[in-house]
Amino acid sequence: MPALDAEIRDLMRFAAERSMLPRFRNLAAGDVEMKGVDDPVTIVDREVEAFLTEALTKLAPGVAVVGEEAVHADKSALDHLSGQCWIIDPLDGTANFAEGKEPFGIIVALADAGQAVAGWIYDPLKDRFCHARRGEGAFVNGERIAARTTGQEPPVTAVSRIFLTPQESAMVDAKLAAHYTLVDIPRCAAEQYPRLALGENDISSFKRTLAWDHAAGVLWLNEAGGKAARLDGSAYRVDQHEAPGLVGASSPAIWDEFVARVMA
């Protein structure tokens, strides 16, 4: 494993062992707050982001850091997404974690000029470390992997209705239900992207496309030979985080068929 990947893995593992795992199913009163509707934040989010921000700044002085909680505090931090920057989701799957449920993880990406150039996804319960660099393939715990489908017919599709309007939810029923096995999302991008390459899900459709949730996963899935892109086929950019619509699939062919049905 290249030195940078090993160093990022060790930072993520240390943060999880110090702040995350001791508090899993052990959060104290006052350790969870609500930033908005269905949008909790915990003491773990803040501790891990502070630790990783400091560590990554030491690792690459002069490279901006865009963390989910920093953006919540100051939206101007989003301006850094168009340049060279680290992107941090300190606790992906916060709602799960706050409820004492799996899955959850840590996501870090390195981006330049709006494109992710490297990404790292860590599941502390499984000690699973997914990483990728643009043009160099996708890896799990240091072993190169190739995306595989579930092999099921109809394909297994994870679709969240949480952020859908009633009209969008009706579209799912009208256009997709007859052609796909619909399953719940894990509410955790750190788990959803691995599922798309490791034979558990074939498709996942995302309405919200925030950079800290998707930068690393999109790169990793594409490097594995799956496909993640906007509905119009354009590449995902971290500096277009408010643009709606993103589909990930275990193969380009499955992606094409799904999007054709959605757009019909």
User: Within a domain: residue 52?
Assistant: yes
Alpha helices in 85-242 (DSSP H): 94-98, 166-171, 189-197, 211-224
Question: Which CATH number is 115's domain given?
Answer: 3.30.540.10
- Indicate whether 100 belongs to any domain: yes
**Overall average pLDDT of the 246-263 stretch:** 95
Lowest mean pLDDT among 70-74, 77-81, 157-161, 252-256: 157-161
Domain boundary among 96, 115, 145: 145
Could you tell me if 163 and 232 lie in one domain? yes
Mean pLDDT of all residues in 177-205: 95
Q: What is the CATH number of the domain that holds 225?
A: 3.40.190.80
Q: What value does the mean pLDDT of the chain take?
A: 94
Query: 15 and 111 share a domain?
Result: yes
User: Is 223 found in the same domain as 166?
Assistant: yes
pLDDT at 125: 98
Judge whether residue 168 has pLDDT over 80.
no
Q: What is the DSSP letter of 251?
A: S
Q: How confident is the model at residue 1 (pLDDT cuts 50, 70, 90)?
A: confident
Same domain for 110 and 21:
yes
Average pLDDT over residues 210-227: 98
Considering the domain architecture, whether residues 209 and 112 belong to the same structural domain is answered as no
**Domain-located, residue 84:** yes
pLDDT of residue 38: 76
Q: How many domains does the chain have?
A: 2
**Are 167 and 116 within one domain?**
no
| Best CA proximity match to 211, nearest among 65, 94, 103 | 65
Kindly state whether residue 162 falls inside one of the protein's structural domains. yes
Q: What pLDDT score does 21 carry? A: 98
List residues bridging with 144 in a β-sheet.
139
Same domain, 12 and 134: yes
Among 145, 173, 193, where does a domain finish? 145
Same domain, 49 and 175: no
Residue 246 sits at φ, ψ, to 5 deg, of: -155, 135
Q: Reduced to 3 states, what is the DSSP secondary structure of residue 37?
A: coil
Band (186; pLDDT cuts 50, 70, 90): very high
The answer to whether residue 150 is domain-embedded is no
Whether residue 96 is found in the same domain as residue 51? yes
Q: Provide, rounded to the nearest whole percent, the portion of the chain with pLDDT above 70.
A: 98
Band of residue 160 on the pLDDT scale cut at 50, 70, 90: confident
Query: What is the pLDDT, as a whole number, of residue 62?
Result: 92
Residue pair 33/69 in contact by the 8 Å Cβ criterion: no
Residues 16 and 132 in one domain: yes
Across residues 18-39, what is the average pLDDT?
92
Do 179 and 258 lie in a common domain? yes
Is the same domain home to 138 and 196? no
For 35-82, what is each residue's pLDDT tens digit?
877 789 999 999 999 999 999 999 999 999 999 999 999 999 999 999
pLDDT digits (tens, 9 = 90+) for 118-149: 999 999 999 999 999 999 999 999 999 999 99
- Domain of residue 176 covers 156-263
- Among candidate residues 145, 179, 204, the one where a domain is terminated: 145
